[in-house]
């Protein structure tokens, strides 16, 4: 198996093992629990159809979830960033519109930028912080 084939296979596995989402303008979905709940709600509202299967043009990011007002607490813009407001790999704060993800397994509650964790899982199977098996 070539390196390119291996990376492609790991990318496909990554897409099945992580909840993907776009950071909302109010940053209400940057915790593991909120990200998982928004993704689960979206999947329940939009069941897979035969037309969706095999669509190569689809973006790996699920899209922007619309939350009901008041259902999730908004983070104040003046609030000093905490560890929950930044990617565990690059240590950059999450910005609205960026692609983020959390592992499907509830054993790991770390949230990552999609690009950061994708680079990590191309060579590693475990979370860079808690060492829980991700792939």
Instruction: Kindly state whether residue 118 falls inside one of the protein's structural domains.
Output: yes
Q: Please give the pLDDT value at position 40.
A: 64
Q: Tell the residue number behind the tokens 């776009």, with chain if given.
A: 22
Whether the pLDDT of residue 85 is over 90: the answer is no
Q: What is the extent of the structural domain holding 106?
A: 1-44+76-135
Instruction: Kindly state whether residue 1 falls inside one of the protein's structural domains.
Output: yes
Q: Please give the pLDDT value at position 103.
A: 92
- Say which CATH number the domain at 33 has: 3.30.40.10
CA-atom Rg of the chain in angstroms: 15
> Are the beta carbons of 128 and 89 closer than 8 angstroms?
yes
Instruction: Kindly state whether residue 117 falls inside one of the protein's structural domains.
Output: yes
Instruction: Kindly state whether residue 3 falls inside one of the protein's structural domains.
Output: yes
Longest dimension (CA), the chain: 50
Instruction: Kindly state whether residue 113 falls inside one of the protein's structural domains.
Output: yes
Q: Taken in order 97, 9, 19, 119, is the CA torsion positive or negative?
A: negative
Q: Using the 8-state DSSP alphabet, how is residue 44 labeled?
A: H
Residue 9 CB partners (closer than 8 Å, separation 6+): 1
Instruction: Kindly state whether residue 67 falls inside one of the protein's structural domains.
Output: no
How many CB atoms within 10 Å of residue 20?
18
Instruction: Kindly state whether residue 103 falls inside one of the protein's structural domains.
Output: yes
| Predicted structure pTM score | 0.65
Q: Which of 4-8, 15-19, 74-78, 86-90 has the lowest mean pLDDT?
A: 74-78
Structurally, the chain folds into a number of domains equal to: 1
């Amino acid at each position: 198996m070539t390196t390119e084939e291996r990376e492609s296979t790991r990318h496909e596995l990554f897409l099945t093992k992580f909840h993907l989402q776009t950071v909302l303008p109010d940053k209400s979905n940057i915790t593991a629990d909120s990200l998982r709940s928004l993704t689960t709600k979206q999947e329940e509202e939009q069941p897979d159809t035969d037309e969706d299967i095999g669509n190569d043009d689809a973006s790996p990011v699920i899209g922007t979830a619309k939350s009901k007002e008041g259902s999730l607490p908004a983070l104040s813009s003046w609030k000093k960033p905490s560890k929950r407001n930044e990617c565990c790999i690059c240590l950059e704060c999450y910005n609205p519109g960026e692609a983020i993800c959390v592992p499907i397994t509830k054993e790991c509650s770390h949230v990552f930028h999609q690009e950061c964790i994708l680079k990590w899982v191309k060579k590693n199977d475990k979370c860079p912080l808690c060492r829980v098996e991700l792939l």
